[in-house]
Amino acid sequence: MFARIGRGFKATLPVALGVMPFGVAFGAVAGLRMAWWQAQLMSLTLFAGTAQFITASMIVDGAAYLPILITGTLINMRLILLSAALTPYLKKAHRGLYPLMAQLLTDESFAVSLAEFERGKPDHYYFIGSGLAIYVLWQLATLIGHTFGSNLPAGLGLEYALAATLMYLLIMLTRTRRSAVAALFAGLLTLALYPLLSNTWSAVTATFIAATLGVLWNRWRSPS
Amino acid sequence: MEPMALTLLILSLAAATYLLRLLPMITLSRTELPAWARDWLGLVPGAVLAASLFQTLFIQDGHYALTWRNVYLLAAVPTFLVAWRTRNMIWTMLTGMVSFALLQRLIF
């Protein structure tokens, strides 16, 4: 068992190291409004990079409870897809391991494990090791970001780290032309709705409308 | 936000996300998600990010800021190009921060 966990852990280490800058950036942004233990609590419990980054920046902007909760949950909706796609490979696992495996599910542990399962044979302990590698380094990165983020001098363009990260994530998440068009539409719509709704509600509304129109467009173009 | 309210927010976010992770494992071992739901879920993250990004770039101090003095918008040009071309987070962040700092000095 430990050897199998170790295999997943080791195979995922390079990916986990690659995620660390993102965790450091989160820690630094969180440091603007959160105590170190709150940032760490977020990384320990929420453990979802993009959602942590967006919600932390909303907290910094002074957004209200409900819009933050909805936006963070919307971002994480894609975990349903990952969880559903992974489940067939976890059939042999004891039911008692499900709560643990669920917490360790991220884009990265999913990608590394699925690649391995399609080559070799499914192994839930490999997945647990993979998830643990991301989990441990994510905690460390958060701590580093929170500790050193506030000590950096002004004038380095740090205000722009959030916008730059959003652009990077946006490009990584919109791989098809339709998803890029839906994203662009959501962006324009949120600006159009801005005078009517608050910042955060206009984003939530625009997201719902853009994703729904994207689905309808697909059905209309290729009815099945 | 008060520290107590913030902690509560963090925990409720975590609880909602945990359900998103766990429920499909428990319920979907036999059934499958319908195609339209998979499609919708796939489009949501990009849309949320774009909405957030557009607000950051185009709205300053509560007003539309579609001017050449909007440093956030100007710095987005090189940053977006680097993000698109390199698909590398470190390069994207560095480009964004450096061009923002330089532009800020040039314009103000």
Q: Are residues A192 and A104 in the same domain?
A: no
- Based on the structure, what is the number of domains in chain A? 2
Q: Are residues A59 and A120 in the same domain?
A: yes
What the block records as the tokens of A209 is 């409308």
Closest CA to B54 of B70, B68, B39, B40: B70
Q: Does B59 touch chain A (CB under 8 A)?
A: yes
Q: Does B98 touch chain A (CB under 8 A)?
A: yes
Q: What is the pLDDT of residue A169?
A: 83
CA angle centred on A34, ends A30 and A36, rounded to 5°: 90
Q: Are residues A129 and A42 in the same domain?
A: yes
Amino acid identity at A159: E
- A157 in the Ramachandran plot: left (φ > 0), alpha (ψ -120 to 50) or beta? left
What the block records as the tokens of A145 is 């970001």
Q: What is the pLDDT of residue A154?
A: 66
What the block records as the tokens of A155 is 């004038």
Q: What is the pLDDT of residue A223?
A: 67
Q: Are residues A117 and A8 in the same domain?
A: yes
Q: Are residues A139 and A48 in the same domain?
A: yes
As a whole number of angstroms, the distance between CA A176 and CA A184 comes to 12
pLDDT single digits (tens) A45-83: 999 998 998 899 889 888 899 999 999 999 898 899 889
Q: What is the pLDDT of residue B30?
A: 64
Closest CA to A218 of B50, B104, B94, B38: B38
By CA distance, what is B36's nearest residue in A?
Answer: A215
A215 vs A224, residue with greater confidence: A215
CB contact under 8 A, A38 and B6: yes
Q: Are residues A143 and A188 in the same domain?
A: no
Mean pLDDT of chain A: 90
The pLDDT averaged over each successive group of 10 residues in chain B (108 residues) is 93 98 84 82 88 91 88 96 92 92 88
CB contact under 8 A, A77 and B26: no
Q: Are residues A8 and A75 in the same domain?
A: yes
CB A149 within 8 A of CB A31: yes
Read off the DSSP letter of residue A158: G
Start-to-end Cα distance in chain B: 32
**Would you say residue A155 lies in a domain?**
no
Q: Are residues A83 and A133 in the same domain?
A: yes
CB B26 within 8 A of CB A98: yes
Q: What is the pLDDT of residue A119?
A: 85
Residues with Cβ within 8 Å of residue A39, at least 6 apart in sequence: A26, A27, A30, A31, A56, A142, A145, A146
- Asked whether residue A127 carries a pLDDT value surpassing 70, the answer given is yes
> For the stretch A7-26, what's the b/e string if a residue is b when 16 or more beta carbons lie within 10 angstroms of its beta carbon?
bbbebbbebbeebbbbbbbb
Nearest-CB residue to A42 (from B10, B45, B46): B10
By CA distance, what is B47's nearest residue in A?
Answer: A183
- Asked whether residue A211 carries a pLDDT value surpassing 80, the answer given is yes
Q: Are residues A96 and A49 in the same domain?
A: yes
Determine the residue among B38, B49, B91, B104 to mutate to test chain A binding: the one whose Cβ has the most chain A Cβ atoms within 10 Å. Answer: B49
Residue A18: domain span: 2-149
Interface pTM, i.e. ipTM: 0.87
Shortest CA gap A7–chain B (Å)? 23
By CA distance, what is B14's nearest residue in A?
Answer: A46
Q: Does B107 touch chain A (CB under 8 A)?
A: no
The dihedral formed by the CA atoms of A141, A147, A153 and A159, expressed in degrees to the nearest 10: 50
The DSSP bridge pattern shows strands B59-60 and B63-64 to be antiparallel
